[in-house]
Amino acid sequence: MPKLLIFDNDGVLVDSERLSNVVFAAMLTEAGLPTTFQESVDLYMGKRTTDCLPHAESLLGRPLPAGFIGEYERRCGDVLRRELVAVDGVPELLETLQRDGTAYCIASSGTPDEIGLRLSVTGLAEHFETEWIHSGVMVANGKPAPDLFEYAAAQHGVSPADCVVVEDSIAGVTGAKAAGMFVIGHAALLPGTRLADAGADIVVGSMREVKGLLPEL
């Protein structure tokens, strides 16, 4: 059993990656950079929005419109408030972890406000104390750098070697492995083979599988 279970948020705890990447692809297209949903997933999923913009602007050949991030967050918020749900099996998993006394936390590229909105809309906020939520804005380098995972482990006083991370993106898997952590890849929007190739130690197709794996880790 790990001493600390570290969850990504988008796509792992809450089913937001589908919704947010639709919005991001649409806004890039509106700005003059035709981008499909799958291209948005492949290029940007799991990363901080502030880290995605330089890449998009390099493809576009000019800066994106002023206020792009603020408008993206507004549009995402509107969609998420209407449609966002928790990933299947997650509420039951969190209840089990609490009952068993297993320490867990979030390490997400999202801002604190973005994380808070997602947890509130899905009813998962009750399962997290504020100090269990770690945002990409708290470290110098976002995923795929290891900074956020190392920061989360340090905040809980746990060695990276004693942590298990659940991630659904290449950036997240790469960062967690660079931090020296065991990684469970959640194959939702990406094929399990891509997560395995990125370094995931185990790949699951459903969050319902995670509970049964933990006693052996």
Q: In this structure, what CATH number is given to the domain that contains residue 140?
A: 3.40.50.1000
Q: How far apart are CA 143 and CA 123, in angstroms?
A: 26
**One-letter identity of residue 97:** L
pLDDT band at residue 105 using 50, 70 and 90 as cut-offs = very high
Give residue 20's pLDDT.
Answer: 97
Beta bridge partners of 165: 6, 183
Please check whether residues 201 and 102 belong to one and the same domain: yes
The last residue of a domain, from among 83, 98, 115: 83
Give residue 52's pLDDT.
Answer: 97
In the chain, how many domains are there?
2
Give the structural domain span for 130: 4-16+85-216
Q: How many helices (H) does the chain have, and how many strands (E)?
A: 10, 6
Please check whether residues 45 and 57 belong to one and the same domain: yes
The last residue of a domain, from among 83, 109, 139: 83
Please check whether residues 42 and 143 belong to one and the same domain: no
> What is the pTM for the complete model shown?
0.95
Give residue 27's pLDDT.
Answer: 98
Q: Is the dihedral of CA 53, 141, 161, 101 positive or negative?
A: negative
Task: Provide Rg for the chain, Cα atoms.
Answer: 17
Q: How far apart are CA 197 and CA 206, in angstroms?
A: 19
The answer to whether residue 216 scores a pLDDT higher than 90 is no
Please check whether residues 12 and 113 belong to one and the same domain: yes
The answer to whether residue 172 scores a pLDDT higher than 90 is yes
Please check whether residues 129 and 199 belong to one and the same domain: yes
Can you point out the beta strands (E) in 147-205?
A: 163-167, 182-186, 202-204
Residues 45-63: what's their mean pLDDT?
A: 97
Give residue 159's pLDDT.
Answer: 98
Give residue 217's pLDDT.
Answer: 85
Please check whether residues 184 and 139 belong to one and the same domain: yes
Count Cβ atoms below 10 Å from residue 166 Cβ, excluding itself.
27
Give the three-state DSSP class for 133.
strand
pLDDT over 70 for what percent of the chain?
Answer: 100
Of 185, 8, 11, nearest in space to 84 by CA = 11
